[in-house]
Structure 1
Amino acid sequence: MTDRDWYDDSDYESAVERAERMTRVGWAAIVGTTVLLVVVAIAAVVVLFAAFLGMVYMLMLSDR
Protein backbone atom coordinates (compact mmCIF):
# COMPACT_ATOMS: atom_id res chain seq x y z
CA MET A 1 0.00 0.00 0.00
CA THR A 2 0.95 3.60 -0.14
CA ASP A 3 1.92 5.83 2.74
CA ARG A 4 -0.80 8.29 1.89
CA ASP A 5 -4.21 8.33 3.54
CA TRP A 6 -7.38 7.64 1.59
CA TYR A 7 -8.36 11.32 1.72
CA ASP A 8 -5.06 12.57 0.31
CA ASP A 9 -5.84 15.02 -2.51
CA SER A 10 -2.28 16.00 -3.38
CA ASP A 11 -2.50 14.55 -6.91
CA TYR A 12 -5.72 16.43 -7.58
CA GLU A 13 -4.38 19.65 -6.10
CA SER A 14 -1.18 19.49 -8.12
CA ALA A 15 -3.21 18.86 -11.29
CA VAL A 16 -5.39 21.86 -10.53
CA GLU A 17 -2.32 24.03 -9.88
CA ARG A 18 -0.76 22.95 -13.19
CA ALA A 19 -4.01 23.64 -15.02
CA GLU A 20 -4.31 27.09 -13.45
CA ARG A 21 -0.69 27.87 -14.31
CA MET A 22 -1.18 26.80 -17.93
CA THR A 23 -4.38 28.86 -18.09
CA ARG A 24 -2.44 31.94 -16.97
CA VAL A 25 0.27 31.23 -19.54
CA GLY A 26 -2.36 30.79 -22.25
CA TRP A 27 -4.11 34.03 -21.42
CA ALA A 28 -0.78 35.86 -21.27
CA ALA A 29 0.03 34.56 -24.76
CA ILE A 30 -3.38 35.62 -26.07
CA VAL A 31 -3.07 39.12 -24.58
CA GLY A 32 0.51 39.51 -25.80
CA THR A 33 -0.41 38.48 -29.33
CA THR A 34 -3.41 40.79 -29.37
CA VAL A 35 -1.35 43.75 -28.17
CA LEU A 36 1.33 43.00 -30.76
CA LEU A 37 -1.27 42.85 -33.55
CA VAL A 38 -2.80 46.16 -32.43
CA VAL A 39 0.63 47.83 -32.38
CA VAL A 40 1.42 46.47 -35.86
CA ALA A 41 -1.95 47.69 -37.17
CA ILE A 42 -1.41 51.17 -35.74
CA ALA A 43 2.10 51.29 -37.21
CA ALA A 44 0.74 50.23 -40.62
CA VAL A 45 -1.89 53.00 -40.50
CA VAL A 46 0.78 55.57 -39.61
CA VAL A 47 3.04 54.43 -42.45
CA LEU A 48 0.19 54.45 -44.96
CA PHE A 49 -0.91 57.90 -43.81
CA ALA A 50 2.66 59.19 -44.17
CA ALA A 51 2.82 57.72 -47.69
CA PHE A 52 -0.51 59.39 -48.51
CA LEU A 53 0.77 62.75 -47.28
CA GLY A 54 3.96 62.27 -49.31
CA MET A 55 1.90 61.61 -52.45
CA VAL A 56 -0.26 64.66 -51.81
CA TYR A 57 2.89 66.73 -51.34
CA MET A 58 4.32 65.43 -54.62
CA LEU A 59 1.03 66.22 -56.35
CA MET A 60 1.10 69.75 -55.00
CA LEU A 61 4.67 70.20 -56.21
CA SER A 62 3.76 69.01 -59.71
CA ASP A 63 0.95 71.57 -59.99
CA ARG A 64 3.34 74.52 -59.77
Structure 2
Amino acid sequence: MKRQKRDRLERAQSQGYKAGVNGRSMENCPYQQADARSYWLGGWRDARSDVQSGLYK
Protein backbone atom coordinates (compact mmCIF):
# COMPACT_ATOMS: atom_id res chain seq x y z
CA MET A 1 0.00 0.00 0.00
CA LYS A 2 1.41 3.38 -1.00
CA ARG A 3 1.69 6.20 1.49
CA GLN A 4 -0.19 9.35 0.61
CA LYS A 5 1.80 12.56 0.50
CA ARG A 6 0.51 15.46 2.52
CA ASP A 7 -1.10 18.30 0.66
CA ARG A 8 1.44 20.97 -0.33
CA LEU A 9 -0.66 23.79 1.07
CA GLU A 10 -1.13 21.95 4.36
CA ARG A 11 2.63 21.46 4.54
CA ALA A 12 3.22 25.17 3.82
CA GLN A 13 0.85 26.13 6.65
CA SER A 14 2.54 23.69 9.01
CA GLN A 15 6.02 25.00 8.17
CA GLY A 16 4.82 28.58 8.61
CA TYR A 17 3.43 27.70 12.03
CA LYS A 18 6.73 26.12 13.08
CA ALA A 19 8.62 29.19 11.86
CA GLY A 20 6.32 31.49 13.82
CA VAL A 21 6.70 29.46 17.02
CA ASN A 22 10.48 29.57 16.63
CA GLY A 23 10.41 33.36 16.24
CA ARG A 24 11.48 33.56 12.60
CA SER A 25 10.56 36.65 10.62
CA MET A 26 7.76 36.58 8.08
CA GLU A 27 10.34 37.80 5.55
CA ASN A 28 11.87 34.30 5.67
CA CYS A 29 8.94 32.74 3.80
CA PRO A 30 10.46 30.23 1.35
CA TYR A 31 7.45 30.15 -0.99
CA GLN A 32 7.14 32.31 -4.09
CA GLN A 33 3.75 31.09 -5.35
CA ALA A 34 0.90 33.21 -4.04
CA ASP A 35 -1.29 30.38 -2.74
CA ALA A 36 1.47 28.51 -0.88
CA ARG A 37 2.86 31.81 0.44
CA SER A 38 -0.53 32.81 1.83
CA TYR A 39 -0.87 29.45 3.62
CA TRP A 40 2.65 29.80 5.06
CA LEU A 41 1.90 33.34 6.26
CA GLY A 42 -1.41 32.18 7.72
CA GLY A 43 0.38 29.52 9.74
CA TRP A 44 2.99 32.07 10.79
CA ARG A 45 0.29 34.49 11.99
CA ASP A 46 -1.51 31.74 13.92
CA ALA A 47 1.73 30.78 15.65
CA ARG A 48 2.61 34.36 16.54
CA SER A 49 -0.82 34.89 18.10
CA ASP A 50 -0.40 31.63 20.06
CA VAL A 51 3.01 32.79 21.31
CA GLN A 52 1.62 36.19 22.33
CA SER A 53 -1.28 34.57 24.16
CA GLY A 54 1.19 32.55 26.24
CA LEU A 55 0.71 29.12 24.67
CA TYR A 56 4.47 28.90 23.97
CA LYS A 57 7.43 30.42 25.76
Same fold flag (TM > 0.5)? no
Higher Rg: 1
TM-score when normalising by structure 1: 0.34
Bigger RCO of structures 1 and 2 (CA < 8 A, at least 6 apart):
2
TM-score when normalising by structure 2: 0.38
